[in-house]
Structure 1
Amino acid sequence: MFTIRDLVQPETLEEAYTTLMNRKPNTVLGGCAFLKMGSKRIGTAIDLSSPNLDLKGIREHEESFEIGAMTTFREVETYPAFQKYFQGILPQAVRSIIGVQFRNGVTVGASVFSKYGFSDLITALLALDAEVELYHGGRMRLQTFLEQPYAKDILTKVWIPKNARKSSYQSLRNSVSDYAILNVAVSEFEGQWRIVVGARPQCARVADKASQKLSELASTNEALLSSDEKSMETIETIAKLAAEELSFGTNLRGSAEYRQALCPVLVKRAIMEVL
């Protein structure tokens, strides 16, 4: 259980950011779902739920989807356009997370900004080449944000390019509602492939070498789209390359060795589904 000394509900992002930077223990509240599962002492808690901040909901623009930081996983799961775009990867990624009541509380901004290693959503967003918008840090690719060291800021939006990207999400869990032992997302758009592996148990990362190799092979070898034995061997090689370039760790859900052995299986499955 977490404790709060003071609670503020700012009406502007400038007020929220100023309060956040005033003292080190000051913390932005998301849906508090994960805070409830741990123990933390918060000096001043900053509630971003005011309608004036305009941080809740999903908007569909001509060239992108805009997701407010206070949007819940359940809203992402049930948003109609996400059912058809990108082969439904976003609803697939979040629908197995614990339960509907829990997903009604977890917010996109809190999960992404915290760079949770177990996050299914981050894995899917990386595959879609999403961007994040920070109040102080500005707008940048999610991949860039995840590679940066932690710095206090307020994540306000997540942006997803609205295109014909094909994608697949795969995961393995001990039970349906448990956190993933490993999760994988693969996507392709205009000949460029992205292979993403998360719950390693570190935060999701793009397998850059494997992604580049697959893009090169796909552009020069139309036979890769077939299901013959040679194509299967090529895909297996790419999947193994992804497992070799990423690091894996051990926790209660699985060992590093198990995750590394599992990775090529899920990557191959995802590539095949995209193809």
Structure 2
Amino acid sequence: MITINSYVKPESLEEAYELNQKRANRILGGMMWMRLGSGRVQTAIDLSGMGLDQIEESEEEFKIGCMCTLRQLELHKGINQYTDGAVRECVRHIVGVQFRNQATVGGSIFGRFGFSDVLTCFLAMDCYVELYKGGIVPLREFVCQKRDRDILVNVIIRKDVRKIRYVSSRRTKTDFPVIACGVAKAGEEWQVSVGARPMKAVLVTEKADERNAAEIAEKLTEQVTFGSNMRGSSEYRKALAKVLIRRQIEALMEEC
């Protein structure tokens, strides 16, 4: 059980940032995973009063506030039209609607959880995070950074001409994924993210040429390191990933 000594709802990001510099303090997201842990939090910092729960769309990008819920992603017409339903697919298996009404995008991305469907899907897009002090950083770089005391303010999806698909395999419908894959055709390159391996998602690329889908999937899968846990062995995950990636490449080849 987690114990919280005091609760603060800051009026500015600067105030929230200053509070967050103390190691005993912690920023709240939707509190869906954090509350399942143990320990003592001196001050819980709530960002819900800063208007960071909106999704803004322009001709160039989508800007998603850190306090937006997974349910907002699931229902957003613009994002799902742009991704041909890939974002909706990446969240629809996450527990249930009540859970997705509380879990936040910021928590899903900043946590860099190995099981995160959201991180895996967003990594296959031209995606960036906006940090309060760190500025705008490509998600592929942010994933590799050590966790610090900065604040994730927005997640930005830049619009380009890529086609994207998302697929996962689960032992039961609402369980964590055994393996998850985001597959994108971006110009002359295949960009594939693999999550739940069971480590955090990784992005690999391969040139889009005349090779068939099986050959490309083989090359992409060989770039990924897999591990074992209670949901599956490394060999099983690798075999699953290769099949899922091949199928999505085949589907995208037919469209292109």
TM score, norm. by length of structure 2: 0.95
Match of 2:48 in 1: 49
What is the identity, as a one-letter code, of the residue corresponding to 1:8?
V
- Does residue 115 (structure 1) correspond to residue 112 (structure 2)? The answer is yes
Describe the SS at the equivalent of 1:253.
Answer: coil
Match of 1:12 in 2: 12
Match of 1:155 in 2: 152
Describe the SS at the equivalent of 1:212.
Answer: strand
* Residues 72 and 105, structure 1, Cα contact 8 Å, conserved in 2: yes
Describe the SS at the equivalent of 1:140.
Answer: strand
Match of 1:225 in 2: none
Aligned equivalents of 1:161, 1:178: Cα separation in 2: 30
Aligned equivalents of 1:71, 1:107: Cα separation in 2: 5
Match of 1:166 in 2: 163
How do 1:149-228 residues align onto structure 2 when only pairs under 5 Å count? 149-207=146-204, 211-213=205-207, 215=208, 217=209, 221=210
Deviations 1:39-68 (A, max 9, x none): 232111100000xx2211111012000000
- Does residue 134 (structure 1) correspond to residue 131 (structure 2)? The answer is yes
Q: Which runs of 5+ in 1 are unaligned?
A: 222-230
Match of 1:71 in 2: 68
Describe the SS at the equivalent of 1:87.
Answer: coil
Q: 2:230 aligns with which of 239, 248, 252?
A: 252
How much does 1:14 deviate?
Answer: 0.1
Aligned equivalents of 2:3, 2:251: Cα separation in 1: 46
How much does 1:37 deviate?
Answer: 2.2
Q: Which runs of 4+ in 1 moved over 3 A?
A: none
Aligned equivalents of 2:187, 2:220: Cα separation in 1: 21
Aligned equivalents of 1:36, 1:6: Cα separation in 2: 15
Match of 2:219 in 1: 241
Deviations 1:234-262 (A, max 9, x none): 32122122222211111111111211121
TM score, norm. by length of structure 1: 0.89
* Residues 206 and 216, structure 2, Cα contact 8 Å, conserved in 1: no
- Check 1:83–1:40 CA distance in 2 against 1; reply closer, same or farther (3 A cut): same
Aligned equivalents of 2:27, 2:252: Cα separation in 1: 38
How much does 1:147 deviate?
Answer: 1.0
Aligned equivalents of 2:94, 2:105: Cα separation in 1: 13
Percent identical: 43
Q: Which has the larger radius of gyration?
A: 1
Deviations 1:164-220 (A, max 9, x none): 32111111001111110000011113333211101101111111xxx233x3x2xxx
Match of 1:270 in 2: 248
Aligned equivalents of 2:160, 2:83: Cα separation in 1: 8
Deviations 1:116-136 (A, max 9, x none): 110001111011120000001
* Residues 184 and 270, structure 1, Cα contact 8 Å, conserved in 2: no
Aligned equivalents of 2:197, 2:154: Cα separation in 1: 26
Pick the structure with more helix per residue: 1
* Residues 206 and 219, structure 2, Cα contact 8 Å, conserved in 1: no
Describe the SS at the equivalent of 2:143.
Answer: helix
Describe the SS at the equivalent of 1:93.
Answer: helix
Aligned equivalents of 2:235, 2:24: Cα separation in 1: 37
Deviations 1:51-96 (A, max 9, x none): xx22111110120000000000000000111231121111110011
Match of 1:33 in 2: 32
Aligned equivalents of 1:49, 1:19: Cα separation in 2: 15
* Number of positions where the alignment pairs a residue of Structure 1 with one of Structure 2: 253
Match of 1:228 in 2: none
* Residues 124 and 164, structure 2, Cα contact 8 Å, conserved in 1: yes
Q: Which runs of 5+ in 2 are unaligned?
A: none
